[in-house]
Amino acid sequence: MRLPRIVAAASAFLLACCFALFQTGTAGAAGPGYVALGDSYSAGVGAGSYIGSSGSCSRSTKAYPYLWAAAHAPSSFAFAACGGAKTGDVLKSQLSSLTPTTGLVSITIGGNDAGFSDVMTTCVTGSDSTCVNRIDQARAYAQNTLPALLDNVYSAISAKSPAAHVVVLGYPRFYQIDGDCLLGLSDTKRQAIDDAADLLDGVIAKRAADHGFTFGDVRAAFAPHEICSSGVWWLHSLTYPVSESYHPTAAGQSGGYLPVFTAAAG
């Protein structure tokens, strides 16, 4: 009668040891704390499945930061990105999520500072010349004013989390020129918008590199899926709600942003 008790006790001990080892391995496998900063492209506006508590920031469970965190189990995850954010909003409202032990940071920022929403509204409602003139203003801002604003944000991130690996992601081109769209914007407008996206990405990439950050270029990933392409579009055209217009769809987040961020995060 004593042998079964001994066997049972030994089995219980082994199970307890195995469970303890499993817990230790799981904790050790967790990545460093991750903080997602930025604007609507990081919040996931356009992807749906918004987190109710995020309010007007419209953070989505289908946004690349949320998807990456779910797949990689960082030791902590702070989702601070907010739709409509400019560089000043990051400085005022988002940096509190950073700590000296934060190991990974992602950010998209700069498009709203350069007037993204107004540019698209002008190009949708105005003539070719009106659209191009507004884009020229945005380009001048991106070249002459935005770099210093990005420097302020990037320096603040480094000050708050000096050991963090920071990944700065860019923006996709919106249109395939000479594509399948029969209606909508003219090719003149589409080309000007795409060229402005290229310039903006160049400015952001340069500032990121100068701060020792990694730049994640999403343009190649989105190329087969731009508006007017023959493939599945990963960007909304003009849609309802209007706030989702010209933002990545759920597929754009998972197929465009997520792989680029995953590769850059290391």
**225 noted as active-site residue:** no
Q: How far apart are CA 227 and CA 212, in angstroms?
A: 33
> Which residue of the set 96, 243, 247, 254 is catalytic?
247
Q: In Å, how far from its chain's centre is CA 251?
A: 13
Q: How far apart are CA 188 and CA 203, in angstroms?
A: 23
Torsion angle of alpha carbons 11, 15, 21, 26, nearest 10°?
Answer: 160
Spatial strand order of the sheet with 104-108 comes to: 77-79, 34-38, 104-108, 165-169, 214-216
CA distances from 20 to 11, 26, 31, 186 (A): 14, 10, 19, 64
> Which residue of the set 11, 40, 127, 230 is catalytic?
40
**What does the DSSP 8-state code read for residue 235?**
B
Q: How far apart are CA 6 and CA 22, in angstroms?
A: 24
Active-site residue numbers?
Answer: 40, 247
